[in-house]
Amino acid sequence: MSSSVSGDCFLVLTPYSQEKSLIFGRNSSPANGEAQEVLFMPSSASKGTIKCDGGAEIDSVPTFALVLQKPLLIWGAECGSNEKNVSIAILWSAGEPDSDALRSTDLVRLALERSCSSLKALNQIGDLVNSNGCDSARFSFLICDPTEAWLLSVGGKLWAAQKLDNGFQRLPSSGLGVTTSIDKSSEGLGDSLKSLGLWSGDGDLNFANCFSSPPIVEQWPGDEPTGDGSYIITSMFETLRSTATDMNRSSNVSVLSPSGISCYWFTATPNPKESVFKPFVFAPNPKISPLTKIPHGECITLLQKLHAQRKPEAVRDLKNLEASCVAEINAYFEANPTPTTELDELMKDCVEAEVKFYR
């Protein structure tokens, strides 16, 4: 597990997004360039306690089904979504604990397993930080559902959250994102900061500055979304590609719909400029592909290994495959209000189609 995690994340809300959906995209940038795997986790019953990556033991509960993007050999995840249309992504982390406390990746998975809305996920992380946090921790997360989005920052066992109402923004991937705009927080946040000597009590409370972790704010790349609802899934693909580098080990996009089917797109291979986004839907019995899981004893997935051997012309063919897939998915969503078994092997089929271009 790397000592820090970051992700360049973009958020687009109504009225900028198509059909009142919430769209966010993320280019992962793990500190040591480690490979990422994409996995489906079915819902499960309570099974005693869970030993998380940071060494903390947490009582288990019945869990929701999840799709996760994560590094090798960890229980948690950098980002993911659940069957209740909640998505969470790590924006930035530092001071990850070595033992007996929850890491940022633990918090992502635990909150997704247990939360049916973004607000519940926010409160879940807050409770977990309070009970099993670490004084060194500095974490920022994006938490979304189809109707709202939250920027959450954690400093030690304290936290502050800002509700994101702006139509679109590029979120800070360095430093704590929450500064003076605080809509929810730890109980008695100001008093706690003063007792720790982190805030004098004078002027506005700036959460990030209290922990000497001010965010670096970057501008939206290229043309900004317009307020006519024209920003769509392929727009986010291009936004991520415009800022991508070879250090981005995997990219993903969530399209959260308040009235239709939400869809989650993953490259599961490095650098989205050279990769294809593949869709996942929480169908009745979804399958991804064994090719997106890192085999025992290996350090990358077979899909990533084949992708590394691609010929230059494969990228052009993959983009055509992606465009065809988007068109077919959109047509299905227009005709069907809920997912059927027809979508069970959606991502698996797309991965297998992609691999044919590499052989």
Instruction: Identify the three-state secondary structure at position 331.
Output: helix
Percent of residues in the chain assigned helix, strand, coil, to nearest 5? 30, 25, 45
What is the distance between the alpha carbons of residues 114 and 159, in angstroms, rounded to a whole number? 19
pLDDT number for residue 195: 97
Q: Torsions phi, psi of 9, nearest 5?
A: -120, 140
pLDDT number for residue 47: 78
Q: Torsions phi, psi of 2, nearest 5?
A: -70, 160
What is the distance between the alpha carbons of residues 351 and 275, in angstroms, rounded to a whole number? 11
Could you tell me the two tokens for 4? 């820090």
What is the distance between the alpha carbons of residues 9 and 2, in angstroms, rounded to a whole number? 19
Q: How far are the Cα atoms of 109, 148, 149, 315 from residue 167, in angstroms, in the given order?
A: 27, 11, 11, 32
What is the distance between the alpha carbons of residues 78 and 107, in angstroms, rounded to a whole number? 9
The closest of 77, 96, 84, 91 to 25, measured between CA atoms, is 91
At 246, the pLDDT band (50, 70, 90 cuts) reads: confident
Amino acid (1-letter code) at residue 253: V
- Beta-carbon contacts of 322 under 8 Å, excluding residues fewer than 6 positions away, are 237, 276, 277
Per-residue pLDDT tens digits for 320-346:
999 999 999 999 999 999 999 999 999
The closest of 112, 90, 96, 8 to 53, measured between CA atoms, is 96
At 20, the pLDDT band (50, 70, 90 cuts) reads: confident
Query: pLDDT at residue 32 above 90?
Result: no
Q: What is the pTM of this model?
A: 0.96
Q: What is the mean pLDDT of residues 109-126?
A: 98
Lowest mean pLDDT of 55-64, 173-182, 188-197, name the range.
Answer: 55-64
Looking at the chain, how many residues does it have?
359
5-355 is classed CATH 3.30.70.600: no
